[in-house]
Amino acid sequence: MGVKFISWTLFLNLLLEMSCYGSEGAMEMGGGHMDHHHMDPSVMVFFTLKDLKIGKTMPIHFPKRDPSASPKFWPREEADSIPFSLNQLPNLLKHFFFSKDSPQAAAMENTLRECESKTIKGEIKLCATSLESMLDFAQEMIGSGSGIQAFSTSHKTKSSVNFQNYTILEILAEIPAPKMVACHTMPYPYAVFYCHSQKSENRVYKISLVGENGDKVEAMVVCHLDTSQWSPTHISFRVLKVVPGSSSVCHFFPADHLIFVPKLQTQGFSSM
């Protein structure tokens, strides 16, 4: 079986969303610059709502990945035919022919552990192991009264640069999101998305950015207006130097992460 894993950088980007993840280091964001030597670039995706303005420059990490090298969704029947559980990890490693000390085993263990971790107050989550289960969850969270529409970040120019300063050129749209589901890729032998929905107020934006080397990105942004229930160890608080509940937290989405919102509320906007 040809099994491919997404990179650890992508895994770290996913964990930015989760309250159990911590990080060492500190950052200075004076005028959109920082101390590159004391902060992992992969965590540089956070900012506050007051920084969402045309002309603002900030360091951002947009990982570049080859879609052909990423794991693919299995059909629901095939994915459901094997356990997706931490207590079954030894059997799963045998199934995929991975040794218990391999990097793949560590990635699988971390994914399963995150998928089984407790949620924060007001949050509902699902680790979707098939496209069908992801769409079913998004529809359930948003409600059966409307369709769903997916948005994702798109790179308008080809570049191998993952991390640089970007300037906001235009706020293309504030996308109505009375309900929202965010889905993030996880490292696993087949495609797994960590999908979650929160009852707290969120805002969704599509913005146009240009990098210092000319790269152009149409990026999806989610701003969480209420962070009072988040863990104090959430990496965003370290990056932004704020505490839970004291500030909004906005973040950019990598290109292969998805945002689902009600379709009837997004007429006139282009999605993925």
Predicted confidence (pLDDT) per residue in 205-251, tens digit: 999 999 999 999 999 999 998 888 888 888 898 899 899 888 889 99
Confidence at 264, pLDDT banded by 50, 70, 90: low
3-state secondary structure of 266: coil
Amino acid found at 242: V
Question: What is the rounded (10 degree) CA torsion for 8, 9, 11, 17?
Answer: 160
Angle at alpha carbon of residue 175, lines to 144 and 156, rounded to 5°? 115
| Contact by Cβ (8 Å): 259, 181 | yes
Alpha-carbon gap, residue 80 to 74, rounded angstroms: 9
What is the pLDDT of the chain when averaged over all its residues?
Answer: 83
| Contact by Cβ (8 Å): 194, 125 | yes
Alpha-carbon gap, residue 164 to 59, rounded angstroms: 5
pLDDT at 201 over 90: no
Predicted confidence (pLDDT) per residue in 93-106, tens digit: 999 999 999 999 99
Percent of the chain residues topping a pLDDT of 70 = 82
Alpha-carbon gap, residue 240 to 136, rounded angstroms: 35
